[in-house]
Amino acid sequence: MNKLTHFIVVASAFLSAQLSFSDSLDWKPKQSFYLTAGYSLTHEMYRAQWTTINEVSPAVTYNPTQVYPNNLSGLRFGFGSKLGNADSQFGYEFDFNQVFAKTRTTQGLQVTRPEKIILGFVDYMVNPESRLQWFLAAGGVITNVPLTVKTIAPNQLSSSTSTSTSADPAVAAFFLYPLNSSLALKGIFIWKIAPYDTAITGTLIPLLMLNYYP
C-alpha cells in the first residue's frame, strides 16, 4: 500500500467516525485559532527552456518538460485564525509544506527534485451562514528547491546539485466543512504564479487537510 492510499484509508475511517457523531453536536468551532495538517500534491508547469551540460562529451541538451519529475507529494502543517473578532469573514493562514523527493530517469539523465514551501495568505469567507463554507484567498509563497542532475550511461557520468529559492504570489480557493466544534475538513486548490522563474511558469497545489481548534 503506497503512502497516498494509506493516508486516504486512515483519513476516511477517522472522518467517518467523526461524521457519525457530528449531527448531534454543535458544529461551530470553539474558537477562531486553529492548527492544520494534511496531504499535498504539487504539479509544476515547466517552461520548455533548453539547457546544455557541457561538462560531458558529447554535451547533453534537455529541457525541464522532458526530464524533471512532476506530480510530487508531501505533508503540510500550519496554523491560522480569523482577523478581528470571531464573526469576521476574513482570516489568515501560514503553512509549511515538505514535498518528498522524487527521481525521474530519462534520456540518459537522472533528476531528483524535492521542495520546501512556506505559504502565507489572507482569506475571505464567501458564505458565512452555511456549514459548508467557501473561501477565496491570496498571498505569497517562498519555495526552496535543491535539484540534483546526474548524467548516466550511455552518457559520460557526471553529477551536479543546485539550489534555488523564489518568492512568488499565489491565489487559492478552498472549502471548509466543520465535523464538530474541534475538527473541520478542508480542501484547498492553490495556484502559484511564477513570472520570474526560469524553470516554471506556475505550480498547482491541491491539498486535503484537517483543522483542529484547541
Domain of residue 117 covers 3-212
Which CATH number does the domain housing residue 169 bear? 2.40.160.20
Q: Percent of the chain beyond pLDDT 70?
A: 88
Q: What is the pLDDT of residue 22?
A: 46
Residue 110 Cα distances to 74, 79, 151, 186, angstroms? 21, 36, 6, 36
Q: What is the pLDDT of residue 11?
A: 58
157-166: which pairs have CB atoms within 8 A and are 24 or more residues apart?
157/56, 158/53, 158/55, 158/56, 160/53, 160/55, 164/199, 166/142, 166/194, 166/196, 166/197
Counting beta carbons within 10 angstroms of the beta carbon of residue 132, is it exposed (0 to 12), middle (13 to 18) or buried (19 or more)? Answer: exposed
Residue 7 has pLDDT above 80, yes or no: no
- Phi/psi class of residue 30: alpha, beta or left (left: φ > 0; alpha: ψ in -120 to 50)? alpha
Q: How many domains does the chain have?
A: 1
Cross-strand partners of 60: 53
For residue range 137-194, list pLDDT tens digits in order.
Answer: 999 999 999 999 998 888 788 888 889 898 999 999 999 999 988 899 999 999 999 8
Q: What is the pLDDT of residue 126?
A: 94
Q: What is the pLDDT of residue 85?
A: 81
CB neighbour list of residue 14: distance below 8 Å, 6 or more residues apart: none
Q: What is the pLDDT of residue 21?
A: 46
Q: What is the pLDDT of residue 65?
A: 86
For residue range 46-80, list pLDDT tens digits in order.
Answer: 888 888 887 777 888 888 888 889 999 999 999 99
For residue range 78-133, list pLDDT tens digits in order.
Answer: 999 999 887 889 999 999 999 999 999 987 889 999 999 999 999 999 998 888 99
Q: What is the pLDDT of residue 9?
A: 58
Place of cell 539550489: 163
Q: What is the pLDDT of residue 118?
A: 96
Helix runs in the chain, H state only: 3-22, 64-67
The answer to whether 83 and 91 are in contact (CB under 8 A) is yes
